[in-house]
Structure 1
Amino acid sequence: MENDLFARLWAALDRDASLDLFRGAVRRESITGNEANVVAYLREAMGRLDLSGLTMADFLPGRPNVWGERKGAGNGRRLLFIGHTDVVHVDGWRENWVGTERENPFGAAIVDGAVWGRGAGDLKAGITSSLAALALLDAAGITLAGDVSFAFVGDEESGQPGTGVSAGIKDYVTRIEAGEVARPDFVVYVEPTQLAVYPAQIGFFITDITITGRSAYFGVPELGKDALRASHAAMSALWKHSDEISARAEHKLVGRSFLLITGLTGGGYIAVPEKCELSLIRKLLPGESLDQAAADIEAAVRGAIDDPEITVTFSYPAGRDHALGGTAAEIEEGRADVSLLSQAIGGALPGRGGIEGAPFWSESPFFVNRLGIPTVYCAPGDIRNCHTYNEHVEIEEFLAAVVGFAAFMARFCGTVD
């Protein structure tokens, strides 16, 4: 019976139409802040699927989300596919590929069996494969008992100044909390996973540390307070702290905690350095307190600088679902719905659908931690080539996602004859 479903879906799949939908989305430049450009395209595609409650609404002026649903014909469960519409910048892309078919970052060129372009993997393949999956069910004559809903939100990427604080999903989950949008029973967030299923993800926060001493002429350094020397002590303490937290525990799916110092600026010209600035990022495991982790970092730095005339300040510029950053999240990997998705993907493309952990932060914690709704990541695309000049998605993988998502919709929501 299971093999019959996949044979039926593959036979009904319109490969060209599915691929055209995907490539059309890549061609709509939607660098963070310009989400409207692709949202209009997605709304049109969603309209062709005859979704009810199809809504496009701004989460910030001129920056819309779009959502809608296919109501089931019976009493099945409710499933949500969600993903972000914005992509990162394309600085240097054209120069890297000048004179080749990949020169246009939004050209959606097909090269060696893959679609290339900014946003191909992160994450327009996931968005369009989920929509194409519903179209495939229609083409195969399969009617769902439960509801399938779609929501595509902006402001997830953080590469543009003043953006990337998850404003889009904050607006959407607030609508769920208010009862304006129906609450799903299970969520698939379509970040690229190479069609693995990720029931766990890391947390993170960024800390900017400013160390301020007192400048003095180089000939009389005893009159100054050397911020650069103090920063050396701080960094030594931070690296030691990273080793300590890494040794505490290892999560089966996402590994160990650590911190990475990502930037250092300071000093001047022939004078005792008055100010030094450090930046770091901290990885958290599910179950780790973000507040406690930040407090531990502050204690390590202050403990390393014993001069009361040198001041230290901390800021946290990347608040997401938490004021300081993004929390980690996980659901039980042995859940029946997780296994069902894994089996559906594996049935569409043997060898895929394995259970792994997300080495990135995205927006599942808004559902898992804030709303208590089980959520996983699953989609075509390889996160390792996203945000690079090599962003691409294999066509075979994309089409398998269409079939796998369609099979999962049928199995999760149930069908009616």
Structure 2
Amino acid sequence: MTAILTERLRAALDHDDAIALLRGAIGCNSVTGNEAAVVSYLEAQMRARGIEAVETAEFLPGRPNVWGERKGVTGDRRLLFIGHTDTVHVEGWREHWAGTEREDPFGAPIIDGAIWGRGAGDLKAGICTSLAALSLLDKAGIRLAGDIGFAFVGDEESGEPGSGVSAGVKDYVARIESGAVDRPDFTVYVEPTRLAVYSAQIGFFIADITITGKSAYFGVPELGKDALKASHAVMSALWRHSDAISARAEHDLIGRGFLLITGLQGGGFIAVPETCKLSLIRKLLPGESLDTAAAEMEAVIRGAVQDSEIRVEIAYPAGRDHALGGTAAEIASDRPEVALLSAAVAAAMPGRGLVEGAPFWSESPFFVNRLGVPAVYCAPGDIRNCHTFEEHVDVEEYLAGIVAFASFMAGYCGVID
């Protein structure tokens, strides 16, 4: 049945409309904090494609979310497609591509079978895949029994001052909890996966560690407290701790946990260094507690500093669905919805649709862990070129994704003859 449906959908797909939809979305500058323009574009597209009850609301001043739904004939099941509207910055893009077709980060040129631009893969291709899939069902004359919701939220990306704490999805999930928005039965978050189906994802926390000693003239170092030397001891202890973490367990889909020191600042001007700052990120596996992991790390750090006169301060600047960071999430990889989506993708693009794990953190834990709603990641685009000057999405993969999503919508929601 999947193969027959796939061929029917492939024959009905409007390539030009689908490509124009994505190029228009990329053309809206939506660097984190500036989501309004692309939300306005998506709102218009949603209404034009027959999505009902389209609403927008600001999760922070000047920063809106947009959502809507297509009611099915029976409403027995509800499927949600969700993604973030914001992108990372474009600093250096024009200089990198000066004098070429790629110079404008929002120009969305088609080059060698790929659409280029900031947000192409992360994750405007996923958003547009879901919208174009609904239009494809309409064009193919397929009516759904179940409901489909669409929600596009801001503030997922990190990097912009005062932003990147998932404020958009927090607002949307709160509306589900209050009953203002209908609760989904299954969720597809459209992060780029190259059309794999990610049923598990990592958790994380970021820690900023400030070690403060006492400065002293270099000729009399015994009068100081060397923060850099203390930091060396801390780093050595943290690396040993990371090895111990990695040895504990291995997850079938996302590998081993670890701790990575990502930054070091310190030193004095011909003097004993008084202050040193470290930054690190900790990868967690499903089932690991953020609170326990942070407490373990703090004990390692404080145990490595032997001098009571050296102060240690630890901050966690990247709270997401948890005050310290983002929790890991997982649903059973053999769930029927996972198998159905995997089969729909494989039929649309042979070799794709494998069930894998996400090597990144995004917002599915708000559904899996907070709401108890099963969720996966799946969409066109390659995370390895996102956040870089090479960001692009292959047209063939994007069009196959539309067919796959439409087939999955039909299979999950049911079809009315």
> What letter matches 1:258 in structure 2?
F
Cα deviation, residue 159, structure 1: 1.3
Unaligned runs of 5+ in 1: none
Per the alignment, residue 374 of structure 1 pairs with: 374
Alignment of 1:177-192 (within 5 A): 177-192=177-192
| Distance in structure 2 (CA, Å) of the matches to 1:52 and 1:285 | 39
Q: Tell me the distance in 2 between the aligned counterparts of 1:2 and 1:307.
A: 67
What does residue 319 of structure 2 align with?
319
| Residue 18 (structure 1) aligned with residue 18 (structure 2) | yes
The aligned residue for residue 120 of structure 1 is: 120
Amino acid of the structure 2 residue aligned with 1:134: L
Residue type at the aligned position of 2:197: V
Which residue number in structure 2 is paired with residue 88 of structure 1? 88
Q: In the alignment, does 2:263 pair up with 1:263?
A: yes
**Letter of the structure 1 residue corresponding to residue 212 of structure 2:** T
What's the offset of the Cα at 1:267?
Answer: 1.2
- 1:248 and 2:248 matched: yes
How many angstroms apart in 2 are the aligned matches of 1:388 and 1:84?
18
Find the counterpart in structure 2 of residue 103 from structure 1.
Answer: 103
1:361 has 2:353 as partner? no
What SS does structure 1 have at the residue aligned with 2:385? coil
Which residue identity lines up with residue 372 of structure 2 in the other structure?
A: G
C-alpha distance in structure 2 between counterparts of 1:93 and 1:70, whole Å: 38
Counterpart contact for 2:33–2:155, Cα < 8 Å = yes
Shift of 1:3: 2.1
Indicate the residue corresponding to 1:386 in structure 2. Answer: 386
One-letter code of the match for 1:153?
Answer: V
Shift of residue 179, structure 1, vs aligned partner: 0.2
Deviation at 1:132, TM superposition (A): 0.2
Q: Does 1:406 align with 2:406?
A: yes
Determine the C-alpha separation between the residues in 1 that align with 2:128 and 2:8.
Answer: 21
Tell me the equivalent position of 2:226: 226
Matching residue's letter, 1:71: K
After superposition, residues 144-293 of structure 1 pair within 5 angstroms as 144-293=144-293
CA apart distance, 1:58:
0.4
Counterpart of 1:7? 7
Deviation per residue, 1:94-132 (Å, 9 max, x gap): 111111000111100101000000000000000001000
> Normalization by structure 2: what TM-score?
0.99
The one-letter amino acid of 1:52's match is E
C-alpha distance in 2, partners of 1:405/1:254? 24
CA contact (8 A) 2:2 2:407 kept: no
Q: Does the 8 Å contact 1:28/1:38 carry over to 2?
A: yes
The reply to whether residue 343 of structure 1 matches residue 343 of structure 2 is yes
Structure 1 counterpart of 2:366, which letter?
F
What residue number does 2:35 align with?
Answer: 35
**Given that residues 153 and 168 in structure 2 are in contact (C-alpha distance below 8 angstroms), is that contact kept between their aligned partners in structure 1?**
yes
**Counterpart code for 2:156:** E
Percent identical = 72
1:74/1:416 contact within 8 Å kept: no
* Residue type of the alignment partner of 2:77: R
Check whether the contact 1:193–1:382 (CA below 8 A) recurs between aligned residues: yes
In structure 2, what is the Cα distance between the partners aligned to 1:289 and 1:320? 14
> Would the aligned equivalents of 2:380 and 2:401 in 1 still touch at CA under 8 Å?
yes
CA distance in 2, matches of 1:126, 1:2: 21
1:412 Cα deviation after fit: 0.0
1:74 CA displacement: 1.9
CA contact (8 A) 1:155 1:168 kept: yes
- Alpha-carbon separation, structure 2, partners of 1:246 and 1:51: 46
**Deviation by residue 1:342-366 (Cα, 9 ceiling, x = unmatched):** 0011111111100000000000000
- What letter is aligned with 1:105? P
Match status 1:141 vs 2:151: no
Q: 1:12: how far off?
A: 0.7
Q: In the alignment, is the contact (CA less than 8 A) between 1:126 and 1:380 conserved in 2?
A: yes
Aligned equivalents of 1:240 and 1:299: distance in 2?
13
Q: C-alpha distance in 1, partners of 2:416/2:62? A: 41
CA distance in 1, matches of 2:266, 2:28: 41
Structure 1 Cα separation of the partners of residues 324 and 75 of structure 2? 41
Mapped contact 1:117–1:391 kept (Cα < 8 A): yes
Following superposition, the deviation at residue 75 of structure 1 comes to 4.0
Does 2:132 match 1:132?
yes
Superposed displacement of residue 76, structure 1? 3.3
Name the CA distance, whole Å, in 2 between partners of 1:268 and 1:214. 10
The 8 Å contact of residues 73 and 416 in structure 1, kept in 2 or not, is answered as yes
**SS state of the match for residue 55, structure 1?**
strand
Q: State the distance in 2 between where 1:7 and 1:119 align.
A: 30
The AA in structure 2 aligned to 1:19 is I
Cα distance in 1 between the residues matched to 2:280 and 2:2: 49
Q: Distance in 1 between matches of 2:244 and 2:132?
A: 47
Matched-pair contact (CA < 8 Å) for 2:2–2:344: no
Give me the whole-angstrom Cα distance separating, in 2, the residues matched to 1:3 and 1:79: 22
CA contact (8 A) 1:76 1:414 kept: no
Q: Distance in 2 between matches of 1:301 and 1:218?
A: 27
Residue type at the aligned position of 2:174: T
Mapped to 2, the partners of 1:387 and 1:396 lie a distance apart of 21
Distance in 1, matches of 2:338 and 2:143, equals: 22
Instruction: State the 1:7 CA deviation.
Output: 1.2
